[in-house]
Amino acid sequence: MADKPSIPKGTRDFTPLEMARRNFIFDTVRKIFKTYGYLPIETPAMENLSSLMGKYGAEGDKLLFKILNSGDFKGKLSEEELVTIPAGKLGTMISEKGLRFDLTVPFARFVVQHRHEIVFPFKRYQIQPVWRADRPQRGRYREFYQCDVDVIGSNSLLNEYELVRIMDEVFSALRLKVVIKMNNRKVLAGISEVIGESERMMDITMAIDKLEKVGMEKVMLELEQRGLGKDSMQKLEPVLKMEGSNREKLEFLEDYLGPSTTGMEGLVEIRQLFGYMEPDTMEAEVEFDITLARGLNYYTGSIFEVKSEEVQIGSICGGGRYDDLTGIFGLDGVSGVGVSFGADRIYDVLEQLERFPGHGEMDTRVLFVNFGQQEVQYIFPVLGKLRNRGIASELYPDPAKMKKQMSYANSRNIPFVALVGEQEMQDGMVTLKEMETGNQERLTPEQLVERLSV
């Protein structure tokens, strides 16, 4: 009967300290999302597998956690089917449901399903866990939280600007120095067009996405392997080597993208976005980065990614505009844009930099020592007064040895201990001891409440 307890690899328990720290992140983003008028929604952990399959590419499909059908899942299958159909396909025949892989596809499904109740433009945020059957490794989990903020039903670039402001405010509230990288899928399409490789846009962007990581030589090698002609590669090189300020890069591209209408459109969008930012004071640096591509296929315009300037780690936030995400569920012509904050990576960065604030206020302020039945009855109404004022207070549940009770207060970092013995009961007082200094005071219950109010 006695199993050695463990949890599935890639998943985690969260202790009270970790919870306080995670809630610091969630509360920060939530508060900022709210001041911009975004509203919360939640969707079920399980979606119909048909809603998830085919939305994240063939690789993504393999990473979906499938829920085995309840009851006789074999029932409808013949023995032959059971034996001959390969696991990948058989899995989808014995599982109708799967765990959500991200919050974007469930959001698209939500919008289509509730479109008659929703007021557009619809600004929503969603903070929930997602699940991926990825190979677990440092900083990559099979269950992790995303904090998504999206607006759907408006083409305006003001939405992009709002999201940039939100990213800036969030990271400045978290006291993290970041750079917000920005690009536009239309510019990437324009580049492919200009070098005469329109149909290879995905290949090209996937390759140059790695520029920072692997360097120019390897990118060129990969492009050659992907079948890019010499001429195209020669035309591409100056873009990849482009340096300087955002303004200088934009000026270079103004010439370069001239022949491509799509490319020029993207450029106008980027200029417009920078235009909104100019008069403002932002904490984060915003950098136009031509090598930023983002893997997901559904992006069609602006794309964003946030990197820490202090810790070497992948992107801690990212997103972009998608012109037809709801189309996969039958609602065409609704454009949206959104970004997703990676709570777990942000956690890792804050931890590494030791930037988490203290969490005194969530912890118990005072422990009443338990000397026995009579004292306990005296303490009850005092506890009531403290708790009514929101002061977290505990009574040790057993009349254990003083040493044991004090050691509990110590281990829990409870700053005050209250002592009530015969003398206190007679005088209607409480003796309060500050753990750090050892100082003791005799107080009435009312004075105690005042003393412990933060």
Q: How far is the CB of 121 from its own copies (least distance, A)?
A: 6
Tell me whether residue 116 or residue 241 sits nearer to its own copies (CB atom). Answer: 116
Q: Are 309 and 284 in contact (CB under 8 A)?
A: no
Tell me whether residue 227 or residue 380 sits nearer to its own copies (CB atom). Answer: 380
> Which residue do the tokens 């903070």 mark?
127
Q: Residue type at 216? A: M
- CA-based torsion, 348, 349, 354, 355: positive or negative: negative
Tell me whether residue 180 or residue 204 sits nearer to its own copies (CB atom). Answer: 180
Q: How far is the CB of 171 from its own copies (least distance, A)?
A: 16
Q: How far is the CB of 436 from its own copies (least distance, A)?
A: 18
CA dist 162 and 158 (Å) reads: 6
Q: How far is the CB of 231 from its own copies (least distance, A)?
A: 36
Tell me whether residue 34 or residue 247 sits nearer to its own copies (CB atom). Answer: 34
Q: How far is the CB of 21 from its own copies (least distance, A)?
A: 11
Tell me whether residue 285 or residue 380 sits nearer to its own copies (CB atom). Answer: 380
CA distance between the termini of the chain: 48
Tell me whether residue 117 or residue 243 sits nearer to its own copies (CB atom). Answer: 117
Tell me whether residue 20 or residue 317 sits nearer to its own copies (CB atom). Answer: 20
In DSSP notation, 281-335 reads --SSEEEE-TT---S-TT--SEEEEEEESSS--S-SEEEEEESSGGGGGT--S--
Q: Residue type at 190? A: G
Strand partners, 287: 181
In DSSP notation, 199-241 reads GGHHHHHHHHTTHHHH-HHHHHHHHHHTT--HHHHHHHHHHHT
DSSP conformation class of 77: S
Which strands sit side by side in the sheet containing 430-434, from one edge to the other? 393-395, 366-368, 416-419, 430-434, 440-443
Q: How far is the CB of 260 from its own copies (least distance, A)?
A: 26
Q: How far is the CB of 219 from its own copies (least distance, A)?
A: 32
